[in-house]
Amino acid sequence: MLSRRNLIIGSGATLAGGLVLTPGAALSASGTIALPTDLEAERMITVTAAPTRANLVAMTFDDGPHPTYTPALLDILKKRRIRATFYVIGQNVARYPDIVKRMVDEGHEIGNHTWRHPFLTKLGSKNVLRELDRTSDAVYRAVQRIPVTMRPPYGALSRKQRAMIHDEREMPTILWSVDPEDWRRPGSTVVASRIVGGARPGAIILSHDIHGATVKAMPAALDGLIEKGYRFETVSMILGRRDWSKLRWRLPKLAQG
């Protein structure tokens, strides 16, 4: 079986057996996941919006999954055939793996939002990577795939840390270009109008699926965007990367885990 110990995330990671893995490397007999080779060429370290003139936006939802609000949001998205990206907190994934499974089954992308939502700027590299790896591991356990982008809690991550994460885990740091500040609980009408009013081609829109008012705002926000001619893509897609749901994660037969 695949154990946490031999689930290797990203490049340059050292296997329990001492082997060093690089992305796109041929699979060895050891327990490794080879990252898709298209990630190797990317030099995208920090992203706030997508460089596109097309009427595309990416909805992103942070801090979940939440046991009731997230399923309600998934219903809203499904009804409109909208695919979004969820920046999940690892310990919530461990609690609600079935909700993460549903997200993936319905075409959404999963991003990494750390294990326990700390201020990463206060942590050293080792602990930053631990926050990310634990979360990717929980996501892997739930849906047999791992996030390829991360978002720092509070958007707080130094330039040096962003480069370190890119080097060590091949993950670009995804920030946002539209922030309705839903966490301040301004009410669902305000949240919806800020989202619709703030949208531009290539916008990455931040919201949180742990607030009832945010989920309540979504029908009006999404319909407002549709009315303005916007279409929705996941973060990977809007950045011109391969559709995360279609990435093929090659898993070798594992030795004793």
Residues 237-256 that bind Ni ion (CB under 5 A): none
Active site (catalytic) residues:
62, 208
The pairs formed by 190-195 with CB atoms below 8 angstroms and a separation of 24 or more are 191/217, 191/221, 192/217, 192/218, 192/220, 192/221, 192/224, 193/224, 195/221, 195/224, 195/225
Residue number of the CB closest to Ni ion reads 62
115-174: which residues touch Ni ion (CB under 5 A)?
Answer: 153
Partners of 87 in the β-ladder:
62, 111
CA separation for the pair 172, 68 (Å, rounded): 30
Q: If binding is defined by CB under 5 A, does position 202 make contact with Ni ion?
A: no
Quote the least distance from Cβ 145 to Ni ion, whole Å: 21
Q: Which is nearer to Ni ion, 62 or 182 (CB)?
A: 62
For residues 208 to 237, the per-residue mask of contacts with Ni ion, x marking binding by CB under 5 A and - elsewhere, is ------------------------------
Where helices occur in the chain by DSSP H, the ranges are 38-41, 69-79, 90-95, 97-105, 125-143, 159-169, 188-198, 212-227, 235-238
Residue placing its CB nearer to Ni ion in the complex, 23 or 172:
172
The C-alpha angle 88, 198, 200, rounded to 5 degrees, equals 90
Give the total of residues touching Ni ion (CB under 5 A).
Answer: 3
CB of 62 to Ni ion, least distance (A): 4
Site string for Ni ion, 47-66 (x = CB under 5 A): ---------------xx---
Judged by the rule CB under 5 A, the positions of this chain that interact with Ni ion are 62-63, 153
